[in-house]
Amino acid sequence: MRKSVASLRWLMMLLVSCVLVSCEEDTIEPERFGSIEGEVIDTRNNQPLANVSLTTTPGTSSFTTGADGKFTIGNVKVGTYSLVARKTDYRSETVSVNVVEGAPTQVRIIMDVSTSSNLAPNAPFSPTPATQAVDQPTELQLKWRVSDPNGKADSVRSEVMLYESNSTASIPVTKNPRDTVATVTGLKYNTTYFWQVTARDKAGLTTRSDVWTFRTRALPDNQLLYVQTIGGNTDIYSSDASGANKVRLTSSPFVESTPRLSPRLDRIAYTSNATGQFQLYTMNRDGSDQRMVSPVGLPVEGYFNFGMGYCWSPDGARLLFASYDKLWVINRDGSGLAQLATAPAGRNFRECDWSGQNGRIVVQTIGSVFYDSEIYIMNENGSNMTMLIGGIEPVYSPSFNLQGTRIMYVKEVGVYRDATGRLTDAQIFTQNLDGSGVLNVSMPGGTGVANKPAGTNDILPRFTVNGAKIVFVNVSNVNQSTPEVWQVDIPGTNRMRLFANATQPDSK
């Protein structure tokens, strides 16, 4: 009996112990979180990829990269994940990521374009101008069409290569790679060009078009040469009398001025300060083959002579130019330099002209003061230099008419004088070589005849080659005003403006 009671007590104690143990508090491990940050890069160009879909395994949420190719996945439990990146036309990429607590895990995913089912784009087609087109302008648009066998023509990019015939140098073409049109400027006249378009898809596969050709139109037979300053660049242009068919002949960062067409009508002489001083050059009528003629050390300069003191010989074989107090003659190719004359003491030569009808040269001499100006005439060998016009009223820009019987010049009839050499009432005159028959072209008078506007100057006159008209510059007498090129009949009638912002005209 006692043994049974003892056994019962022991059993009861065991049950109580079990109950007490089962009532103890369980220990729970807390959850820990981190984050994933990174960017997705295109393997072809190392550029960020936008709109890339990102998912994790084990799953969290789906995310997409922004325009900068970056992404952030927050509130991710600590652990190891597989991060999968997907984008249309790209191979999916999977990377293993170990997320830790307290600091973002950095990831960089590099994706490549999928080429498993991609076909190269079709060859570009339908060119404009059509291949072998002729009479094309020197500024034009090249156009073509592209297509893609994968149905993704909008993603095809184009590259244009343009070449001049007999040249391997590619000509720059202005275009957007997404466009199927390109703008081309500055082409040469009467020249054949070749061009080809390469189509490229997102996978980098390319296809080239056929080689297409076109030929530009012939050089316009422009009547006028002149100088214009546009955007700070002073260059030589040609055009017809209406200003149409305008052709830019020079394009250097230096000053090109005083164009003169050869009597042979084949080359244009001009001056440029590309060497630091104004030197004499010639070029073809389209602006090509520019060559310096005057030797270094003999610039076309002197008192108030900034490249304007020269002219062609009547046969176009030589050039006469003024360099300080000396008058020189030189062959058009730069050979045969010879001194022709020396100016009076204290004076320099400036503007000049040479007539084949009378075998004479007319030239302006000028002192160190702008208003101290005279006109001389001499034989074409430099002998018998005689003053033709001088006196109180300064004179400039002498030239012969077509027959060589009269000279034209500019005279300042105003009495205003200042240190800058400002002209206030410069007018154009013509007269016989003996001084008779003086005609005021700027102020001819008569009913219904337009005179030079008050407050302006008529300067830099040139006879047209046919001898029927005069081209000249009219400009306000306020210094630094914008000049205009005008035309007038020999007697001073039918005065007409040709175009604005132009100076130093010459006419053939």
Largest CA distance in the chain: 173
Q: Are residues 174 and 312 in the same domain?
A: no
Which residue among 216, 236, 267 closes a domain?
216
Distances (CA, A) of 263 to 130, 231, 472: 39, 32, 19
Answer yes or no: are the C-beta atoms of 311 and 282 closer than 8 Å: no
SS3 6: helix
- pLDDT tens for each residue of 403-444: 999 999 999 999 999 999 999 999 999 999 999 999 999 999
Query: In the predicted model, is pLDDT for residue 178 greater than 80?
Result: yes
Domain count, the chain: 3
Distances (CA, A) of 380 to 314, 363, 401, 445: 10, 11, 16, 36
The DSSP secondary-structure symbol of 48 reads B
- For strand 105-111 and strand 373-379, is the pairing parallel, antiparallel, or unpaired? unpaired
Q: What's the pLDDT at 160?
A: 96
CATH number where 309 lies: 2.120.10.30
Decide if 497 is inside a domain: yes
Q: Which two tokens stand for residue 500?
A: 């604005």
Query: In the predicted model, is pLDDT for residue 508 greater than 80?
Result: no
- pLDDT tens for each residue of 96-154: 999 999 889 999 999 988 766 678 899 999 999 999 999 999 999 999 999 988 888 78
Distance of CA 202 to the CA centre of its chain: 33
Kindly report the pTM of this predicted structure: 0.72
The DSSP secondary-structure symbol of 78 reads S
Give 28: exposed, middle or buried? Use CB within 10 Å, 0-12, 13-18, 19+. Answer: exposed
Q: What's the pLDDT at 348?
A: 99
Give the DSSP letter string of 332-367: TTS---EEEEEPPTT-EEEEEEEETTTTEEEEEEE-
Q: Are residues 380 and 270 in the same domain?
A: yes
CATH number where 98 lies: 2.60.40.1120
To the nearest 10°, report the CA torsion of 236, 241, 246, 252: 0
Distance of CA 418 to the CA centre of its chain: 39
- pLDDT tens for each residue of 440-486: 999 998 777 889 999 999 999 999 988 999 999 999 999 999 999 99
Per-residue pLDDT band at 29 (split at 50, 70, 90): low
Domain that holds residue 174: 125-216
Q: Are residues 48 and 130 in the same domain?
A: no
Nearest to 427 by CA among 383, 394, 385: 394
Mean pLDDT of the chain: 91
Q: Are residues 399 and 485 in the same domain?
A: yes
Decide if 6 is inside a domain: no
Q: Are residues 336 and 394 in the same domain?
A: yes
Give the span between the Cα atoms of 68 and 55, in whole angstroms. 19
